[in-house]
Amino acid sequence: MSGLLPVEEAQARLLALRGPLPPEKISFSEGFRRYILHDILAQRDQPAAPLSAMDGYAIRFDDLPGPWTIVGESAAGAAPGRTVNAGEAMRIFTGAIVPDGADTIIVQEDVAADGSTLTLTGDGPATRGSHIRPRASDFAAGDCLLPAGTRLTPGAIAAAAMSGAAQLVVGRRPRVAIVTTGDELVQAGRALTAGQIPDSNSPMLSALLAGEPAAVSLPHHVRDDRAILAKVLKDLARRHDVIVTVGGASVGDHDHVRGALQDAGGQIDFWKIAMRPGKPLIAGTIGDAVLLGLPGNPSSAFVTATLFLLPLVRHLAGARDPLPAIHQALLATALDGGGGRRDYLRARLENGRLTPLTGQDSGMTLPLATANALLIRDIAAPPRKAGALADYIVIA
């Protein structure tokens, strides 16, 4: 099919429309799922001194099997205050600095203390250095702990906090407006008259964006009226980085997104992608905002949001790798060959095997509730037997 843009090309063009948003300084506890804008370099050694990994006694390995004279104690948070000399042991606790002179920790279960005399009762440490965490064994000052563009997981936040940095420098969250279009739509939960349907796409999009660094406004709904839509788009563009419309993206008499975008002074960058579902996707700009026009069918809206809206939001928020990761698994059933557009089949991945769901009509919503993967079938892909490999994207 000529004239349809390949998915990768469309994604690249969309992300090229606007660069990442300016930096913002936030506290470590606000960092979850944000993207750091600069490499996080360690400003300190971790640990900054050799630490005990156990509760016990710090000794010299050469003094084994003892006995020892107990000389003071080293607890977490303070300097040991004294060197350990030949024949001496210092009481020590987990996380405390190992005193100079000592090179090994005996766990307290292996010794008995009687006044200031310590004797070996168990096996004792097998090697010099036992139960000591050497200085910089986690990381050393100057190490790159997290490269720019990393998405902050709870674990990455732990590393950033330990680095010695004062705070996090992340990309600002894009402000996203969701605009539904269609005379037939009613806010979900409201009474319906003949011909009306609940709006399922805006709560679906809000849910998708809830896992992303985005500031999402309350959804707007516009009737199938080009002039009103143009006015709404123009107004929203002043206060948002991304406007995502749903519906009205195709060629019907009531599909007004492209016309309204132009009336509002915006530009279309591309329209129509070689994918199924989701062919009529629109991308463009209006003022400083990026407009993404998703098709209205529930499965089309979901698939195009996964492949385009989420990467756009991540890119604007500073992501280095904004596109969804593509994995491979074995097919649980045979799969027909591909056609003229790339398919993103709603599928279920279970025990490492992929099964496309029955009901691939883009108008269906129920398969979205059970799918946990999008099975990717390329243009003109040959038919495959059960057990063959297939690409997929995780969606739940």
Task: Report the residue number, 159 or 291, with the smaller CB distance to Mg ion.
Answer: 291
Size of the site for ligand AMP (CB under 6 A): 21
Nearest to 283 by CA among 2, 18, 1: 18
Partner from Mg ion, ligand AMP, none binding residue 143, C-beta < 5-8 Å depending on class: none
DSSP one-letter code for 20:
P
Residues 7-66 that bind ligand AMP (CB under 6 A): none
Query: Does residue 197 interact with ligand AMP by CB under 6 A?
Result: yes
Partner from ligand AMP, Mg ion, none binding residue 356, C-beta < 5-8 Å depending on class: none
d(CA 257, CA 243): 11
Decide: 101 and 83 in contact? Cβ < 8 Å.
Answer: yes
Query: Does residue 185 interact with ligand AMP by CB under 6 A?
Result: yes
Q: Which of 63, 199, 212, 241 binds ligand AMP (CB under 6 A)?
A: 199
Cα diameter, the chain = 94
Give me the least distance between CB of 238 and Mg ion, in Å please: 25
Query: Does residue 184 interact with ligand AMP by CB under 6 A?
Result: yes
Give me the least distance between CB of 393 and ligand AMP, in Å please: 22
Query: Does residue 248 interact with ligand AMP by CB under 6 A?
Result: yes
Q: How many Cα atoms are found within 13 Å in the side-chain-facing hemisphere of 292? A: 29
Partner from ligand AMP, Mg ion, none binding residue 185, C-beta < 5-8 Å depending on class: ligand AMP
Decide: 74 and 92 in contact? Cβ < 8 Å.
Answer: yes
x/- string (CB under 5 A) for Mg ion, residues 156-195?
--------------------------x-------------
d(CA 94, CA 89): 16
d(CA 59, CA 119): 12
DSSP one-letter code for 273:
B
Task: Report the residue number, 4 or 229, with the smaller CB distance to ligand AMP.
Answer: 229
**Piece of 19-27, 229-237, 245-253, 261-269 that binds ligand AMP (CB under 6 A):** 245-253
d(CA 95, CA 150): 30
**Piece of 96-104, 121-129, 195-203, 316-324 that binds ligand AMP (CB under 6 A):** 195-203
Residues 199-258 that bind Mg ion (CB under 5 A): 247-248
Query: Does residue 159 interact with ligand AMP by CB under 6 A?
Result: no
Give me the least distance between CB of 277 and ligand AMP, in Å please: 10
d(CA 18, CA 14): 8
Query: Does residue 295 interact with ligand AMP by CB under 6 A?
Result: yes
Handedness of CA 201, 202, 206, 207 (dihedral sign): negative
Neighbours of 172 (CB within 10 A): 19
The dihedral region occupied by 248, where left means phi > 0, alpha psi between -120 and 50, and beta the remainder, is left
Neighbours of 257 (CB within 10 A): 31
Give me the least distance between CB of 265 and ligand AMP, in Å please: 23
Query: Does residue 298 interact with ligand AMP by CB under 6 A?
Result: yes
Q: Which two tokens stand for residue 324?
A: 């969804």
Strand partners, 259: none
Task: Report the residue number, 281 or 289, with the smaller CB distance to ligand AMP.
Answer: 281
Task: Report the residue number, 213 or 298, with the smaller CB distance to ligand AMP.
Answer: 298
The dihedral region occupied by 253, where left means phi > 0, alpha psi between -120 and 50, and beta the remainder, is alpha
Query: Does residue 200 interact with ligand AMP by CB under 6 A?
Result: yes
Binding site for ligand AMP (CB under 6 A): 180, 182, 184-185, 197, 199-202, 246-250, 252, 255, 295-298, 363
Binding site for Mg ion (CB under 5 A): 182, 247-248
